Amino acid sequence: MTGEALLEVEDLTVRLRTARGIRRAVDGVSFAIREGEILGVAGESGSGKTITALALLGLLPLGARTSGSVRFAGTDLLTLRRRELQKVRGAQVSLVSQDPMTSLHPLLRIEVQMTEHVRAHLGFSQEQARERALEMLAAVRIPDPEQALASHPHQFSGGMRQRIAIAMALACEPRLLIADEPTTALDVTVQAGILALLDRLRRERGVSVLFITHDLGVLSSVADRICVLYGGRVAEHGATSVVLGTPRHPYTDGLMRALPGAAVAGAAMTPIAGSPPSLDAMPAGCAFHPRCEWAVATCATRVPALRDVGDGRLLACDVDPLAPVPS
Amino acid sequence: MADAPPSSARRARRVTPAGLGRFLARRLGIGLVLVVGITLVAFILTHLVPGDPAAANLGQRALGDPAIVKAFNHEYGLDKPVVEQYFIYLWKLLHGNLGVSEQSHRAVITDLAQYVPATIELALFAIVVSIVIGVGLGVVAAVRRGKPVDTGLRIGSLLGVSMPTFWVALFVFYLFFFRLGWFPSGGRLNPGVSAPGHITGMYTVDALLHGQWSLFVDALDHLVMPGFVLGIFTVGTVLRFTRASVLEVINLDYVRAARAKGLSEWTVVRRHVMRPALLPIATVAGLAFGSLLSGTVLVENIYSWPGIGEYAYLSAVNLDLPAIMGVSIVVAIIYIVINLLVDLLYSILDPRIELR
């Protein structure tokens, strides 16, 4: 959890081409991940989480423009040529997608899918790559790895598929795993298994994880630090215990109160009014102000700057209604 | 299955030999029913056409002599009631007897044995041409979507689809034979060259099997022009379907996952995009083969290709009933076999599809 920053994202901005013109999906986002750390990136759909993840790997849809910098182990991934970037993808930085039902190739045997990148990146023979695949499948607790290699994805359940997808992503022993909503499509009991798996892999293999989710409850159990995104900007950023323990951004607070169960003891579950803005209708000023109970007049005109509020937390709210009252 | 490998691959592979056998038996059974149905339809249609086979086949003077007309009708069984004629035909068919052609005066089966391989050779060449060019360019268009290459190919394929075959055939004939002299005008071999020993009836294949290299070149030389013209007919269709099919796959999660694994773009397209994209293309290619067969009538006529298209045309013009029936049956069998192959291809391409 300590050590050098493995990934430093600075002022990342992504412009997407939509039917109505060019829109900023991610706007000046910065964060860093240290070796062996799990950073949670939270936000509703449309907050720019997935676009951020794809931008790191250069996997954005056609017509997307990226600026800022993404320094991974000293290299800016955004400036790399395609061939150089291909050497990083899957080998140094891997991606696990949201839906294991669609992220595994339906027509290729698991063996092909688990060995092709190992052979390409590490120069392994098929035999060596197969050995590695068996080892990884065992590591993610797939029963009978031999049988699994000869099978096709449709022969597995969703949870099993996500384990296979994680094994696949880890097969080249990457230093960073980008997990884009890895548990969203799964049952709650299966979710817990995947979370435990990621935590164990982080401890045993020292993998850093960028964990993207809309579910703060999931992050509370695995993330070391949390970065809350809203409308493509960072709303609140800090250690998990700080951000979730005493949320200070109205949006984080709203997400917490929207959680089922006793995340906030005694409070009833209340959804945030309204819905997240679309790219075509991003509000002026603070993007959250139309939904914010605390909004004041200036919120509609001035974009709040992300500032250090002292308790190891970065906050982008000018009102800061939840600040602890000095006694 | 007792000696099957101990590997767990067994359960993963859905197509067992027994399952395949059941599938084939079922499909061949259905095919047989279809063929009989086709004979009925062809028989009815030929009898609905107003026309007199005797008038079409006999000369003016012979037609004037009722005795000769009667003898003609008697010889071909045309004096019996239609229903009886049909059952006589079926009975003979059961014994492999397709009757005697009224024009060539040879057994229809002999004619077919001569003409069918020529057409199969031509159609196979054409379908290979159209699939190789169509799929290749379709993938290029999809990968370079929105770029000038894509626009050019889309316009080109639209032209290819909308240009009438007879026009293309005549233009190509004019340019490459008459003007440039690159290819022979027609036929299957140069005059005076004798055909290779009969194995498949396809001259290029037979020449290769016999190791007769110069004969192979000669046969191929004759095949290129009609083959391309026939193929061009479907290139546009295959191209457009390939482009659409590839575009549908290229943005799917698992393709992005393949890119995220750091595979080269070429590997991603070849291994992860092409296989699922080929599924609908297999269907289109099967259908395209059908339209190729109807295209042979025209192309064989222009390039003097002695195939079943030309034979079908002459039989239809001359109301040569046994020949028409023979052609119908052969074409039906070709369709059934192609469909069967497409379904088999599906189950090979997609392990989730079970043969039934």
CATH number at residue B135: 1.10.3720.10
CB-based contact B262 A87, cutoff 8 Å:
yes
Distance linking the first and last C-alpha atoms of chain A: 34
Is residue B343 a part of any domain in this protein? no
* Residues A46-54, mean pLDDT to the nearest whole number: 89
The predicted pLDDT at position B43 comes to 83
For the ranges A169-173, B96-100, B208-212, the maximum mean pLDDT occurs at A169-173
Segment A11-38 shows an average pLDDT of: 90
Measure the CA–CA gap between A68 and B200, rounded to whole angstroms: 67
Q: Average pLDDT in the A227-239 region? A: 93
Tell whether B154 and B275 lie within a shared domain: yes
Please report where in the chains the tokens 């750091």 appear, as a residue: B262
Least confident window among B181-195, B228-242, B293-307: B181-195
Assign A267 a pLDDT band (cuts: 50, 70, 90): low
Q: How many domains does chain B have?
A: 2
- CB contacts of B258 in chain A (<8 Å) are 105
Per-residue confidence band for B14, with pLDDT thresholds at 50, 70 and 90 = low
Per the model's pLDDT, the better-predicted residue between B174 and B120 turns out to be B120
Give pLDDT, residue B1. 35
Residue B4 predicted with pLDDT over 50: no
Say yes or no: B196 and B276 in one domain: yes
**pLDDT for position B7:** 38
Question: In terms of domains, do B195 and B292 share one?
Answer: yes
Residue B282 lies in a domain: yes
A–B CB contacts, 8 A cutoff, strictly below = 93
Q: Is B272's CB within 8 Å of A86's CB? A: no
Residue at a domain's end among B64, B94, B124: B94
Residue B334 lies in a domain: no
Distance from CA of A94 to the nearest CA of B (A): 7
Give residue B10's pLDDT: 37
What is the band of A137 on the pLDDT scale with cuts at 50, 70, 90?
A: very high
Distance CA B315, CA B86 (A): 18
Asked if A275 and A254 count as a contact pair (C-beta separation under 8 A), the reply is no
Q: What average pLDDT does range B309-314 have in this prediction?
A: 88
| Confidence tier at A130 by pLDDT (50, 70, 90) | very high
Question: pLDDT digits over B138-151, tens only?
Answer: 999 998 888 898 88
Q: What is the pLDDT of residue A153?
A: 92
pLDDT greater than 70 at residue B5: no
Q: What is the pLDDT of residues B75-115, one digit of tens each?
A: 777 788 888 888 888 888 888 888 888 788 888 888 888 88
> What are the residues of chain A with a beta carbon less than 8 Å away from any beta carbon of chain B?
57, 59, 61-62, 82-83, 86-91, 94-95, 97, 99, 102-109, 112, 116-117, 120-121, 144, 146-147, 150-152, 154-155, 165, 168
pLDDT at B356: 65
**Interchain contact, B261 vs A105, CB within 8 Å:** no
Which of chain A's residues have a Cβ under 8 Å away from the Cβ of B254?
102-106
Predicted local distance difference test score (pLDDT) of residue B318: 82
pLDDT, position B188: 80
Chain B residues with CB-CB distance to A130 below 8 A? none
Residue B182 counted as domain residue:
yes
Does residue B66 share a domain with residue B211? Answer: no
Residue (of A57, A73, A47, A55) closest to A13 by Cα position: A55
pLDDT, average across residues A242-249: 91
Domain match, B268 and B229 both? yes
- pTM value surpassing 0.90: no
Domain boundary among B94, B123, B145: B94
**Residue of chain A minimizing CA distance to B11:** A151
Per CATH, the number for A5-92+174-315 is: 3.40.50.300
pLDDT of residue A85: 92
Residue of B nearest to A150 (CA): B9
Distance of residue B7 Cα from the nearest chain A Cα, in angstroms:
8
Q: In this prediction, what percent of chain B has a pLDDT beyond 90?
A: 10
pLDDT at B257: 92
Average the pLDDT over A225-244 and give the result: 93
Domains of chain A, by residue range, sit at 5-92+174-315, 103-173
Residue B145 to residue B138: CA distance in whole angstroms: 10
pLDDT of residue A312: 87
- Residues of B in Cβ contact (< 8 Å) with A152: 12, 351-352
Reduce the DSSP state of residue A248 to 3 states and report it. coil
Find the residue in A nearest to B275 (Cα): A107
Mean pLDDT is highest, among A230-234, A308-312, A318-322, for A230-234
A120 closest CB neighbour out of B263, B272, B352: B263
Instruction: Tell whether B125 and B185 lie within a shared domain.
Output: yes
| pLDDT given at position A234 | 94
Of A2-6, A77-81, A266-270, B257-261, minimum mean pLDDT range: A266-270
Q: With an 8 Å Cβ cutoff, is B106 touching chain A?
A: no
Q: Kindly state the average pLDDT of the residues B250-266.
A: 90
The pLDDT > 70 percentage for chain A reads 96
Same domain, B73 and B176: no
User: In the structure, what pLDDT confidence band is assigned to residue A261 with cuts at 50, 70 and 90?
Assistant: low
The answer to whether residues A180 and A52 touch, using CB atoms and an 8 Å cutoff, is: no
Question: In the sheet where A93-96 sits, what is the strand order?
Answer: A93-96, A176-180, A208-213, A38-42, A225-230, A233-239, A313-315, A307-308
Mean pLDDT of B335-350: 85
**What pLDDT band is residue B9 in, cutting at 50, 70 and 90?**
very low
B129 and B164 assigned to the same domain: yes
Residue type, B50: P
pLDDT of residue B182: 83
CB of A309 within 8 A of CB of A320? yes
A89 and B257 in contact by Cβ < 8 A?
no
Among A1-5, A133-137, B275-279, which range has the highest average pLDDT? Answer: A133-137
**Mean pLDDT across B29-34:** 89
Residue A226 has pLDDT above 90, yes or no: yes
- The reported pLDDT for the residue numbered B173 is 77
Average pLDDT score over residue span A186-195: 82
Domain that holds residue B194: 112-317
Q: Do B155 and B259 fall into the same domain? A: yes
Give the Cα separation of A71 and A176 in Å (integer). Answer: 12
What does the pLDDT average to over A185-208? 84
Q: Is any Cβ of chain A less than 8 angstroms from the Cβ of B261?
A: yes
Out of A248-262, B5-19, B75-89, B261-275, least confident range = B5-19
User: With bands split at pLDDT 50, 70 and 90, how would you rate the model's confidence at B15?
Assistant: low
Residues of chain B contacting residue A109, judged by C-beta atoms under 8 Å apart: 12
> Chain B contacts of A108, Cβ < 8 Å?
271-272, 275
**Residue B127 · residue B289 · CB < 8 Å:** yes
Helices (H), chain A: 49-56, 82-88, 100-103, 110-122, 126-139, 145-149, 158-170, 188-205, 216-222, 240-245, 250-257
- Binary contact (B7, A106; C-beta < 8 A): no
Q: How far apart are CA A28 and CA A237, in angstroms?
A: 14
pLDDT at A66: 93
Asked if B147 and B180 sit in the same domain, the reply is yes
Residue B138 lies inside a defined structural domain of this protein:
yes
Contact A264, A291 (CB under 8 A): no
Asked if B260 and A166 count as a contact pair (C-beta separation under 8 A), the reply is no
Q: In this structure, are residues A209 and A265 in contact, taking their beta carbons and an 8 Å threshold?
A: no
Residue B103 lies in a domain: no
Question: Does the pLDDT value for residue B3 go beyond 70?
Answer: no
CB A51 within 8 A of CB A59: no
Residue A200, min C-alpha distance to chain B (Å) = 22
DSSP state of B115: H
DSSP A315: E
Average pLDDT, chain A: 88
